Amino acid sequence: MEIRTAEGLIEAYVFEEHIEGGRIGQIKDAFSRAPGVEFVGQFVGSFSLFGRVVARDLAELQGRITNEYWEAGIHSKWSLNLTAYSAVAPKRGSPPICALVRARATEDPFDVRDALDDGFLLGGEGAAVINDHDFDLLVDVGGDTVEHALDRVVALRSFPGIGRTATSFADLADAVRPTKS
């Protein structure tokens, strides 16, 4: 099974949960300058900072986690995007207000992700199968307001195959996408 992006890269996500008071901005800035970082943003909910990174292979990713990312202040859980081959993945594009939802699948997570892609996801939204000890899926939904983002989360929670969830919200005005000009 192929898990690489169209560019042949491994894609990974970090859910930074424990940040010392007043350091979110510093960590976000330092992390955004590290190699391979494609997105970093502050969130409110089950994690405080989220990042999407790419690497040539697992060895390169592990080296960055141990070195550059650790030195930037990133010390939390990492997950691979096991469906990175899909053009519709979290944080490749996003509505202005977003909700990142980690979900436990009650059915095969690859089938649930495909079903989400086949009609539930709107423009700019995305879903991925991830390797997390509590969750199987990461779903990126949202809208122009936090209320619209919440409506999308409520709809997702009733989608077939979606079980327990944990959600974080963000206004992406201050998000950093280092490779975007």
Residues 10-83, CATH architecture: 2-Layer Sandwich (3.30)
Sign, CA torsion 162/165/171/173: negative
Q: How far is 163 from 103, CA to CA, in rounded Å?
A: 6
Domain ranges across the chain: 10-83, 97-173
What is the 8-class DSSP label of residue 102? E
Digit-by-digit pLDDT tens for the chain (181 residues) are 889 999 999 999 999 987 766 688 899 999 999 999 999 999 999 999 999 999 999 999 999 999 999 999 998 889 999 999 988 888 888 889 999 999 999 999 999 999 999 999 998 999 999 999 899 999 999 999 999 999 999 999 999 999 999 999 999 988 888 875 3
CATH code linked to domain 97-173: 3.30.70.920
DSSP strand pairing (97-105 vs 49-55): unpaired
Question: What pTM value is reported for the model?
Answer: 0.93
Q: How many residues does the chain have?
A: 181
Supply the pLDDT for residue 21.
Answer: 64
Q: How far is 3 from 16, CA to CA, in rounded Å?
A: 23
